[in-house]
Structure 1
Amino acid sequence: MGALKRLDGTSVSEGSSADTERLALYEKFGAMAYGVILQIIPQPELAQQILVDLFASPEMDQCLKAPTSLACNIIRLARTKALEANRIATTANPLPAEPQQPENDNTEKLIFDLSFRQGYALGAIAERLQMPYADVMKSIRDYFKYLRTS
């Protein structure tokens, strides 16, 4: 058997432990990371490219060495990569010009969406929705509680 070929055309020996480790990580956490990326970038082709970039990136080595949970680190990195790709794809991505004051149940979901999926700072969300910063934080906490019970 010969050498495996990477996407960039370079060859890798089949016994490379780093590549074997990344493949194992992909098999274990790939679906989870892809789900996170799809929440931010709902285009499957672009999401798949980001997923490949995620597991091929040098930042993945830092995830392995970090003292925190590997799954959490991969989620954070997937989110970061997806938000970065989203910013590149859309040069200017302002908050909606005239945000509608949704029902209270939907406010928590809107704030979570703006923060997690679109990457806006909590201060910017509070200012735009004309809410105190503490209420924005409470909305996110309440939304997490709702997600845990659903």
Structure 2
Amino acid sequence: MGSLKRLEETSVSKSTERLALYEKYGAMAYGVILQIIPQPELAQQVMVDLFASQQLEQCIKAPTSPGCNIVRLARSKALEANLRATSSAPLSEPPQSKDDNAASLVFDLSFRQGYPLRTVAERLQMPYADVMKSIRNYFKYLRTS
């Protein structure tokens, strides 16, 4: 009986930790997921999967910031779900408008669509250093806007 009670207490403790993480980082994680998956229903499914996953335990125990780890995990889960939803669609470029620039295109392909920077550089026929510079410029733009 004692081991059953400890198991229940451990389960309640983990549940409480997950709830605390959700309350603290849930909005941030959902924002990241929505950047990758703009469909709210699918994004919510990914969010539930994120906070129900065993990998969340590693975020709690990791020596680094739980927020950073949750954002990384949210991004990877969203990319996986996006890949399943699009059935491994080829590298696609978002529709271009007059306001779009290389920096936002590079960011979209690398962060939202999950393509490695080398692949983005090859696809856009840009040197790798320019791809890195575009990402840096996009982050500067985000900070000022």
| TM > 0.5 fold call | yes
Match of 1:77 in 2: 73
RMSD over aligned CA atoms reads 2.4
Measure how far apart 1:69 and its partner are.
1.3
Distance in 2 of aligned mates of 1:47 and 1:126 = 28
Distance in 1 of aligned mates of 2:82 and 2:111 = 13
Amino acid in the other structure paired with 1:16: V
Q: How does 1:1-150 map to 2 (within 5 A)?
A: 16-96=12-92, 106-150=101-145
Q: 1:101 to 1:117 in 2, by over 3 A?
A: closer
CA displacement 1:86-136 (0-9 Å, x = unmatched): 111111221238x99987961100000100000011111100111001100
Structure 2 residue runs of 5 or longer lacking an equivalent are 1-7
Distance in 2 of aligned mates of 1:96 and 1:17 = 44
> Number of residue pairs matched?
138
Percent identical across equivalent pairs? Answer: 72
TM-score (norm 2): 0.86
Structure 1 residue runs of 5 or longer lacking an equivalent are 1-11
Amino acid in the other structure paired with 2:111: F
TM-score (norm 1): 0.83
Name which structure has the greater RCO, CA cutoff 8 Å, separation 6+. Answer: 2
Query: In proportion to residue count, which structure has more helix?
Result: 2
